[in-house]
Amino acid sequence: MSNDFDNTVSVIEDPEISVPIASERNDNINLHGQIQLSILSTSTFDASTINPSTVLFGKTGTEASAEHFMLRDVNRDGKIDMRLRFDTKKTGIQYGDTQAILTGETNGGQQPLKGFDSITVVGCKK
């Protein structure tokens, strides 16, 4: 069984928290439908402390709010992660884009967070 949740994320300097994000389809984004992402908990960050209503995802990290979220252990490491679903059309991602950004805050707005990863847009007519 392949592990689709093994991505790394570039480090963002404080005061933001750098969060690992992972997609279900190995970062292949289809412009029709939905994108499912997970924010992974680590030994120093608990994804369940995120306020899901503040999470935005897209080309610049300011576009689409989550259509749905749930808390569960996505990568089977014993830590609770946050899984989110976004409407692809609302993200502003287009054919040729190579990066997507996720932003948000922890509960109470105490700490901003940011994650980004490389993407490949698939299913487009060239």
Does domain 17-122 match CATH 2.60.40.10? yes
Contacts of 28 (CB under 8 A, 6+ apart): 119, 120, 121, 122
Q: What is the DSSP letter of 111?
A: S
User: What is the reported pTM?
Assistant: 0.77
Please state the domain extents for the chain.
Answer: 17-122
| Beta-bridge partners for 13 | none
Q: Which of 23, 87, 98, 11 is nearest to 56 (CA)?
A: 87
More confident position, 93 or 31: 93
pLDDT tens track for 34-70: 888 888 898 888 999 999 999 999 999 999 999 999 9
